[in-house]
Structure 1
């Protein structure tokens, strides 16, 4: 790895953490999904997978060790891989907005499955049903954020990558 790659991965990880913290006061409205999608397309899957691991590890340092960390180590790399793969085929922001919306909508379900392993299936179902209003908001806000911000952010980063590489 080049020093430029290490610096880039650090900056992208910090941007994700700062973006999440900046919107933490708004329930289930986040910019992390949008940024992971764009980073996967612009900077590639390999770099962005490292960013997802660093981001998740940073989250653990901020919020502490708990069962949610297992899902974070799966869900963010999965989004990176899916985005990187479909990024070669999907050319409009609508496909990515749909992906982000579905991801936000199913976020609680991913955690419910994980919680079921630790506390039982009843707890997992209760966890998921109780969180459905937040998941709906999460999916809707992800869809809207990607629809509005995908093109301008991607175009800006594309221009910067030309200078970087």
Structure 2
């Protein structure tokens, strides 16, 4: 996050960014596994560093309030953290294609990551069955994430970086 303390401005900004994640997810729900959350989690991580943890936590809570509690909540508690860690590891990457490949690979693996919650419930057979059943959606997720990151990662990063720097100058 650059600076360790969570100021009121940052808290409000992070809350707005959480709301954007939820809003975009609801608006794009008609398109199976085409979503902007992955793109924005990557951008938020690169721009805000550790501050993304606040955004992800708020997003998951808002999702639970909106959709209720089920096994997907457990997976949401770690799948977005996995993406944030990957984005953090590649934060210095400037290649549009590189970000698109990372985002597409994440979309392709999303079903497997989410199916992990079924290992303790139903064992390997339930994990594999759940994962395999979702592969067509993972392919759509991969393609959508790839295209969205290719087109929008750099512009979103520039806008949020400028906003973040401006906020830092005013304190």
Asked if these proteins are the same fold (TM beyond 0.5), I'd say yes
Query: Cα deviations across residues 124-148 of structure 1 (Å, max 9, x unaligned)?
Result: 2111111111001101110010001
Residues of 2 paired with 1:41 and 1:122: CA distance? 37
Contact residue 53 and residue 77 of structure 1 kept, 8 A = no
Residues of 2 paired with 1:159 and 1:14: CA distance? 20
Query: Cα deviations across residues 107-133 of structure 1 (Å, max 9, x unaligned)?
Result: 111122211221232222111111111
Matched, 1:131 2:155: no
1:68 maps to 72
The root-mean-square deviation of aligned C-alpha atoms, in Å, is 1.2
Identify unmatched segments of 5+ residues in structure 2.
1-5
1:99 maps to 102
Residues of 1 paired with 2:34 and 2:22: CA distance? 14
Query: Cα deviations across residues 57-107 of structure 1 (Å, max 9, x unaligned)?
Result: 11111111111111111111121122122112x112221111111110011
Residues of 2 paired with 1:57 and 1:119: CA distance? 26
1:2 maps to 7
Q: Which runs of 4+ in 1 moved over 3 A?
A: none
Greater alpha carbon shift after TM alignment, 1-10 vs 21-30 = 1-10
Residues of 2 paired with 1:65 and 1:158: CA distance? 34
Matched, 1:31 2:66: no
Contact residue 79 and residue 114 of structure 2 kept, 8 A = no
Residues of 2 paired with 1:112 and 1:160: CA distance? 37
Residues of 2 paired with 1:158 and 1:50: CA distance? 17
The 5 A counterparts of 1:149-164 are: 149-164=152-167
1:148 maps to 151
TM-score by length of 2: 0.90
Residues of 2 paired with 1:110 and 1:160: CA distance? 33
